[in-house]
Chain A
Amino acid sequence: MALATYSDTRVATVGDYFALLKPRVMSLVIFTGLAGIVAAPGHIGPVTGFVALLCIAVAAGASGALNMAYDADIDRLMSRTATRPIPMGAIAPGEALGFGWTLAVAAVALMGLFVNFVAAALLAFTVFFYVGVYTLWLKRRTPQNIVIGGLSGALPPAIGWAAVTGSLSLTPILLVAIIFLWTPPHFWALSLWRSDDYARAGVPMLPVVRGKTATRRQILAYTAVLVPLGLAPAFVGAAGPLYFVCASAIGVWFAIEAFATFRETDEVREPAARRLFRVSLVYMFALFAALIAERLLHLPVLAALV
């Protein structure tokens, strides 16, 4: 994949480098990583916990910078991404590569040296999967790009868990599975009203390759698996009533919007898909916020109450 041509139009600001880290994606990764740390049994010192979270955040940011470096040529063709620092000519792709790889290596090394090697290995795998498997291999080749590539975005709770315990178990794998199954309906909802953008850039997103009807069906199918799976942590002794109520209520809301998206006829504005996209963000935030709140407030798990 050739790096995009760089034309120097202005000097990069600190804000440009910050934007390179995809701060909004990073905030979600920090949040789910924190949930993994908080939910894990055992103790982690506050400084070590902070370092673990910092490493997860920096590696996520590094992955974002590397993604922008390798995808600069298609980013400049899509309205959603055309204002990113590389298409705007503020940062050269090579500079973003150097920045990204430096941060990625530093984050993994720091995790290995100061936290543990299981968490470091998982972190390295996450960066490799996002950059190597998703960005360089799948993104331009298959409509399953975000399904398989979604694994990298799903791993932070497992990394957080491993930072505390040095191992993995059923609970972190469940949390990973929830984010993994949440990713397709979340991104396909976005791609329904951004399909022209993706078509212009030649990215084979599902609505571009298989059409919007097939995409709506797939969104509904993934939602039908995701919503029940979202309740599973409460049944394996990993979450309590607060989590169960949040996952049930917002899960039903998620399913209603997925069904509305399935039946949507306004293919220009796609109002249901826009609502589904927003609800999917609320769903993810609420599930992990409930999990964190229960642990911090020492609330009992559901299994202890029945």
Chain B
Amino acid sequence: MSDIDDKARRRRNLAVALALGALVVLFYIMTMVRVHP
């Protein structure tokens, strides 16, 4: 695998991690909104 491919893969992994992190935060906020309207 070339350096460019390796970088592309790392960026994809980072994007997936950020998306999952954002989902966790979103679920937390929505749960709080629902529990304490």
- Residues of A whose CB lies within 8 Å of any CB of B are 10-14, 17, 45, 47-48, 51, 54, 113-114
Contacts and interface: CB of A to CB of B under 8 A. Distances in A.
Interface string B5-30: 10011011001000000000010011
State the majority secondary structure of interface residues on B.
helix
B12 A17 contact: yes
Contacts, number: 30
Contacts of A12: 8, 12
Interface residues of B, number: 13
B30 A11 contact: no
A29 B34 CA distance: 27
Nearest to A48: B33
Contact of A11 (B1, B33, B34): B1
A14 B33 contact: no
B26 A11 contact: no
B11 to A, nearest CB: 5
Contact of B26 (A17, A45, A51): A51
Given A10-B5, A11-B1, A11-B5, A47 B11 contact: no
Contacts of A13: 8, 11-12
A14 B34 contact: no
B30 A14 contact: no
Given A13-B8, A13-B12, A14-B12, A47 B33 contact: yes
Contact of A47 (B4, B5, B29): B29
